[in-house]
Each structure stands twice: as C-alpha cells, then as structure tokens.
Amino acid sequence: MANQVYDCLLWFIFAMSVAGFAGSFFYVTPYGRFKKAGNEWTLPSLPGWLVMEFPCLLAFALTYWLLGEHRLATVPLLLWGIWQAHYIYRSIIFPLRMRDRGKRMPMGAVAFGFVFNSINGFLNGYAVSTLAPHLLDTSWLLTPWFITGAVLMVVGVSINIHADTVLRNLRQPGETGYKIPHGGLYRWISVPNYFGEIIEWTGWALLSCTPAGLSFAVFSFANLFPRALAHHRWYRKTFPDYPPQRKAIIPGVI
Ligand SMILES: NC(=O)c1ccc[n+]([C@@H]2O[C@H](COP(=O)([O-])OP(=O)(O)OC[C@H]3O[C@@H](n4cnc5c(N)ncnc54)[C@H](OP(=O)(O)O)[C@@H]3O)[C@@H](O)[C@H]2O)c1
C-alpha cells in the first residue's frame, strides 16, 4: 500500500514540477517582493515558515521510523541526519535569524508549502529507509555518487547560507525596503541563495540516488529558476545603477 502511495505521489511531484515550471513564466508566487497589496489572508513570518517547512522534517522522521524497513542501517541513518539538519535550519534557525519579524506571509503560499513539504518528507523518508537497497552497504559512502553528492551539498549549503546572510544584513532593525546586495556570488549573479539551494538538492539526489531525491531536485529547479529570473528583472527595473554585468542565477550564463 505504501509503495502505491509513494508511486502516485512521486509522479504527482514530477508533473507538478513541469506544470509549475511552465506556469512560473506567467505567474510569480506572490510573497516577498512580489506580495500583492491588499492580501488579508496572511500569517506572521516566523510561524509561517514553521508551518510551511516543519512538515518536511516531521514527515521524513515519522515515515523513516514508523515504516522504514532499513531504519537501523548506517547509510540511511546518515541521510536521515543530513535531512533533519537541513530542516532544523530551514524551519527554525532561518526564520529566527530574520531581522524583520513583523513581516507577514500569504496563507496560500504557506498552505502550498505545508502540503508539498509533507509529501516531499514522506517520499524521501520512505525511499531512503525502504526502497534503496544500494544504501544498505556502507561501501556506498565511497562511491562517486555519494562523494560527488556530498561535496555538492556542502558547496550548495555554504552558498545558500552566505547569500541569505548578505541579504539579512542589508536591512537595519526596523527597515523593510530592498537594497542592492554585494559580495560573494552577488558579484556575478542576482540570486545566489537560489543557486546554492539548487546545487544542494542536486547533491542530495546524487548521494541518495533515489527517484524521490531526483524529484526534489527537479522541483527545486522548476520552482527557483523562473523565480530567480523574475528577481533579476525586478532588480534591473528597480535600481537604475544595478550592476549591468550581473547575471540572474548561473554565473556567466543567464
Ligand atoms: N527548495 C525550494 O524549493 C525552496 C523554495 C523557496 C525558498 N527556498 C529557500 O528559502 C530561503 C528563502 O527564500 P525566499 O524566496 O524568501 O528568498 P528571498 O526572496 O531572497 O528573501 C530572503 C530574505 O531576504 C530578504 N531580502 C531579499 N532580497 C533583499 C534585498 N535586496 N534587500 C533587503 N532584503 C532582501 C527577504 O525579505 P522580504 O521577505 O521582505 O522579501 C527575505 O527576508 C532561500 O534560501 C531559498 O533558497 C527553497
């Protein structure tokens, strides 16, 4: 039964990624700088991030420990730890570090995040703990898949956290406006936090080598790449002195 649910949800995420990618060129999810005035259905950003992201941590953990056939094997345990570490950062530490806690998030975005993250947590938790026989032998840790994936994850996380830190430091306490970010990868691209996030989940797809890992990498790209282009257009339109050589999301390319 769990296998059938897994298959259905997996295809649902791939289909949603393709549809979302196509749709994102016509519609930008209205949060952050694209939030529409007059949207009354909002939540404060701290509980908003928690409600949106915590299900990913919880769904993975519940699936892993309640359904996982190989939950005590070394490599699946390691992957569980990596996943939890990311989602403790994303759902708790990241929103706690935000300067402007008075900001609000649209309920629609939070509801979508809640549903997607619940599915994504289940898919990856189930894949890693039950459907991946290649993870049962610790020799997996010495394969090019794992080593390349681990390096990409570390590089991606470092880029993402550094880029988000630059953004956070742009505002003084109480400020809510936008400024031009500088330093690090901002020298070359407008949205390095998204670039780092895509690299990170590509790394996860490689080091876990499961269809669920791939689906999350594809979803992250489909979601963040078009949004990065929208950020880039917005920066160029908003700031006449925006660095002209800066690309959107891939240094030197686009
Ligand atoms: N895996 C995925 O599919 C996925 C999806 C979404 C997000 N994420 C990750 O979640 C994190 C946050 O995402 P996000 O979409 O909220 O990123 P974002 O739009 O870059 O905003 C991040 C934070 O920085 C502030 N900010 C952005 N640009 C600024 C500027 N020029 N001047 C001053 N402040 C600025 C934003 O304030 P405002 O809120 O006022 O705009 C927000 O508090 C990122 O690390 C992203 O990679 C991952």
The number of domains in the chain is 1
Residues 6+ apart with CB under 8 A from 53: 87, 90, 91, 113, 117
User: How remote is the CA of residue 66 from the centroid of ligand 1, in Å?
Assistant: 34
Q: In the prediction, which pLDDT does 36 show?
A: 81
Residue 244 lies in a domain: no
CB atoms within 10 A of CB 53: 24
Is the residue at 248 inside a domain?
A: no
Query: Which residue's CA is minimally distant from atom 32 of ligand 1?
Result: 178
Rounded Cα–Cα distance for residues 27 and 52 (Å): 21
Residue 249 located in a structural domain: no
Q: Which residue has the tokens 């929208």?
A: 230
> Is residue 9 included in any domain, yes or no?
yes
Which residue type occupies 89? Y
Going 99 to 54 to 199 to 81, the CA torsion angle's sign is positive
pLDDT at position 18: 98
The protein residue with its alpha carbon nearest to ligand 1, atom 21, reads 32
What's the pTM?
Answer: 0.96
Return per-residue pLDDT of the chain as tens, 254 residues.
899 999 999 999 999 999 999 999 889 998 899 988 776 789 998 999 999 999 999 999 999 999 999 999 999 999 999 999 999 999 999 999 887 767 889 999 999 999 999 999 999 999 999 999 999 999 999 999 999 999 999 999 999 999 999 999 999 888 889 999 999 999 999 999 999 999 999 999 999 999 999 999 999 999 999 999 999 999 999 999 999 999 999 999 99
Q: Which domain holds residue 179?
A: 2-238
Q: Is residue 130 part of a domain?
A: yes
**What residue owns the CA closest to ligand 1's atom 14?**
32
Kindly state whether residue 250 falls inside one of the protein's structural domains: no
User: Which single residue is written with the structure tokens 């995420």?
Assistant: 13
Q: Is 245 exposed, middle or buried (0-12, 13-18, 19+ CB in 10 A)?
A: exposed
Our mutation pick for probing the ligand 1 site, out of 170, 194, 198, 235, counting the most ligand atoms within 8 A of Cβ, is 194
